[in-house]
Amino acid sequence: MENHYVRRARQAMQHFDLSLIIVDKTYIVYMGSGKVDEVSALSLYTSMLQEVVDNKAAQRPILHHYKRSFNGFVVKLTEEEVKRIAEMDGVVSVFPNEMKQLHTTRSWDFIGFPTQVDRSTIESNIIIGVIDTGIWPESHSFDDKGLDPPPSKWKGSCQTSTNFTCNNKIVGAKYYKTDGTFSPEDLRSPRDSNGHGTHVASTAAGMPVGMASMLGFGLGTARGAVPSARIAVYKVCWPRCAAADILAAFDDAIADGVDILSLSLGGSANRQYFDNSIAIGAFHAMRNGILTVTSAGNSGPSPATLSNFSPWSISVGASTMDRKFVTKVELGDSKKYEGVSINTFDLKGDMYPLIYGGDAANTSGGSSLASIAATSTTFLAGAAGVLTQGETERDSTFIFPLPASYLNSHDGANTFIYLNSTRNPTATIFRSEEVKNTLAPAVVSFSSRGPNRLTPDILKPDLVAPGVYVLASWSELSPVSGFEGDNRTLSFNIISGTSMSCPHVSGAAAYVKSFHPAWSPAAIKSALMTTAKPLSSKINHEAEFAYGAGQIDPIKAVNPGLVYDAGASDYINLLCAQGYNTRLLRRITGDDSSCPETTNATARDLNYPSFAFQTQLAKPTNATFKRTVTNVGSSVSTYKATITVSSQGLKIQVNPNVLSFTSLGQKQTFELSIDGTIEEPILSASLVWNDGNFQVRSPIVVYHIE
C-alpha cells in the first residue's frame, strides 16, 4: 500500500501547497510611499547600488522597479550588500524574492446565497483584481453578454496577444516575470495554463453557466457572487509566485482602479509585515480604499500556521459544504470497502489482478491494480487503478489520473491480508458517489490555523467559506488531476484548498461594496464578520483559531446594523504599538505620520470586529479593549449588549452595555473588560449588540498557546 506520507505529499500538490523556495540572491528593496518621478527614482536606485556593491565594476541591473502605488526595486545582491543597503536612508526593508505557493455550483446555495438575490444597480461598476495564474478567457464564466464597457474609473490595460484578448467582463489582464526567465512551457500572456486562476476568478465573479459539472459530478449552475462585476487579471504564478511579481501586480492594480483584490496564495508564516510582499501590497491597497482578501493557507491543523494574517486584510479559512465523495472498492472475496477520492472512471465492475505496490517494478502488464509509492509511477506503469491507505484526515480528497480510492488503515490492512491469502487476488474500483455531508459546515483539516504569531491579540483567521470540493471553471490546457499524461480536457474542475474559500469572500465583499460603494475596507470586513454564522468548537477544537468569526453570510452582510470601522491612521497606531518608530512609519506612508513619544497603546486598541487576548493558564489576568461602532442600520435605535461565556472563572463586561443612536453614521464608543483565569488553552465567548432588528456579533477568545 502507498505510504500515507507520500499520499499527503501528493495531496499537498493538489492543494497547491508547494514548499517555500528562495530565488538565489534576488532581493526586493522596499522603500514605502512617496512621490518620486521615474527618472529620479532610477537615478537614486542606481546611486544606492553603486555605494553598496562589493565589486565596484560589477553590474547590478535593476530587474524591476515599483512606481505607481509605492516605491522600491528588485535586484541581485550578496548577503553583505543586503546588510549595507538595509541601513541606507529611505529603505524600509530588504527581503528575499521568495516564491509563494498557490494555496461552484453548490457552494453559494449552501451558504444561503441563492441565484435570485437583490442586486445593486452598480454591481457592474465593481472590479475584482485577481492575482494568480492568469485566466482562460474562452470560458463561458467570462462571457460579457449584456455588459457595457468598463466604468470610467478603470485605468488598467490588457496585454493582448495572438491568443488572448480582453472583453467587457475581463477588463484588464497582465503578466509578470521580473527575472525575465521563462521555461518552454510558460505562456507569455495572461492566459492560464494551470487552471487555478481561472477557478478562483469564476468563483468570485463568474457569469452563471447552466449544466456545469466535472464529468457529471457537481452538476448544476456554476456562478460567482457578483456575475455583473468586472475582473482584472494579474498573472504572477507560473505556477510558483515570486514575491517581486506579486508586488508588481499590487503596484499596478492599485493604480488601475480595482475595488477588491483576491489572492489565493501565500508563503512563510513567520515574516514581519513589511518583509512580506502580500502584507505590503495589502497595506498600500488599504490606504487607497481597496480591500485585500487572502487565503489562510493549507498547513493545518497545527496551530500558528497561517500564511496571511495582516490586520488590514481578510484572512480566509476553508470550510466544508454538504457534499462529499466516496469511492467503493470490491475485492475478489466479495468484501467491499468505502474509501475517498474523486474517481470519474468506471471499471464496470470488472475484476483486475491485485498486487502489492512494492512488487510493481517486477511487473509489466497494463491490467494490474497496484498501490505503489507514487501514484504518477502507477499511472505511467499502465496500471488499471490504485489503492492507497493511511490515517490522515479524510475530510477532503483529490483527483487521480486513473481509478483510485484512499482507504483507512483498517480497511487497507484487510485488503493486504486478502492480497496475501490467495494465489490470484483481484479487485475493482467503482466510480465515486456524491453523498451528503451531514457535519457541514466544519473547518477542513488542511486549513491553516491561528493564532497570529506577529500580533497575538488580533484574531486570525477572520472568516471561513466553502473550500472543499468546489466546482468552477478550468483551463483546458491543464491536466484535471495535475498529473502529466492525464489528457482529460475539461471546462470545469472540482478542487479543494483555502484558495477556493478566498474568492468566495472576495465575491461576498464585492457584493457588499456594490450596495455601499463609499464604505472603507474595514467597514466591509466588519460587515462580513459580525454577520457570519458561528461554527461549533465541538467539531473544530481549535475554535475561533480555525473559523474566526464563522462562515460568511453575504445577504446579512449588506445590512449589518453597526460596523467597526478603521482607517490608515488606526493601522499606523497599531504599528506604533508593535514597535515601529516615526522615522520608519514615514518611509512606509510617505507622509507626516508619527508615533507619540510615550504611549501605552496595544494591539487591543485597534478597532477590530473581534477580540483576542493571550494570557497564562490558571493565573489571574485582565485586559481592556476599546471599540467604536458606527450606526449603519436604523436612524434611531438602541442596542443592548449580551455576553456569552462558558467559563465560571472568567468575567467579561461591557461598559456601557447600552448604546443609543439618533442618526445614521453616528459613532458610539465602549470598553470590553476581561478579568479572571482560564483553565483550558482556548476559551471562547461572544459579544452581541442587539436592537431587536440587527444582531451584531463579535467572537471573543482568551487563550494560552505555546
**Active-site annotation holds for 570:** no
141 Cβ neighbours under 8 A, 6+ residues apart: 198, 201, 202, 206, 207, 209, 222, 223, 224, 472, 473
Helix ranges (H only) for 259-338 are: 277-287
Quote the CA–CA distance of 418 and 459 in Å, as a whole number: 50
**Active-site annotation holds for 514:** no
> Considering 65, 103, 196, 284, which one is annotated as catalytic?
196
Give the residue among 345, 326, 324 at the shortest CA–CA distance from 336.
326
What region, left, alpha or beta, does residue 211 occupy, with left being phi > 0 and alpha being psi -120 to 50 degrees?
left
CB 257 within 8 A of CB 225: no
For 105, other C-beta atoms within 10 Å of its C-beta total 25
CB 135 within 8 A of CB 197: yes
Query: Angle between the 582-589 and 568-577 helix axes, to the nearest 10 degrees?
Result: 150
Quote the CA–CA distance of 638 and 251 in Å, as a whole number: 43
Joined grid coordinates for residue 25 = 540572491
For 515, other C-beta atoms within 10 Å of its C-beta total 17
**CA distances from residue 574 to 302, 453, 603, 671 in whole angstroms, order as listed:** 27, 15, 6, 17
Give the residue among 129, 69, 436 at the shortest CA–CA distance from 280.
69
- Dihedral sign of CA atoms 111, 117, 119, 123 in order: positive
Quote the CA–CA distance of 453 and 111 in Å, as a whole number: 30
CB 204 within 8 A of CB 510: yes
Give the residue among 158, 168, 68 at the shortest CA–CA distance from 125.
168
Joined grid coordinates for residue 342 = 474523486
φ, ψ at 191 (rounded to 5°): -65, 140
Quote the CA–CA distance of 113 and 118 in Å, as a whole number: 10
Place of cell 497561517: 306
**CA distances from residue 494 to 200, 281, 397, 499 in whole angstroms, order as listed:** 12, 30, 10, 12
Joined grid coordinates for residue 215 = 464529468
Query: Angle between the 277-287 and 521-530 helix axes, to the nearest 10 degrees?
Result: 110
CB 699 within 8 A of CB 682: no
Torsion of CA 169, 172, 176, 180, to 10 degrees: 110
3-state secondary structure of 375: helix
End-to-end CA distance of the chain: 37
Return the bridge partners of 628, or none: 669
> Considering 15, 17, 64, 132, which one is annotated as catalytic?
132
CB 274 within 8 A of CB 93: yes
**Active-site annotation holds for 196:** yes
Quote the CA–CA distance of 454 and 26 in Å, as a whole number: 25
Quote the CA–CA distance of 530 and 548 in Å, as a whole number: 11
**CA distances from residue 620 to 267, 272, 615, 647 in whole angstroms, order as listed:** 37, 31, 9, 14
Quote the CA–CA distance of 30 and 27 in Å, as a whole number: 9
3-state secondary structure of 701: strand
Quote the CA–CA distance of 389 and 416 in Å, as a whole number: 10
> Considering 447, 491, 499, 684, which one is annotated as catalytic?
499
Place of cell 514597535: 579
Kindly list the catalytic residues: 132, 196, 499
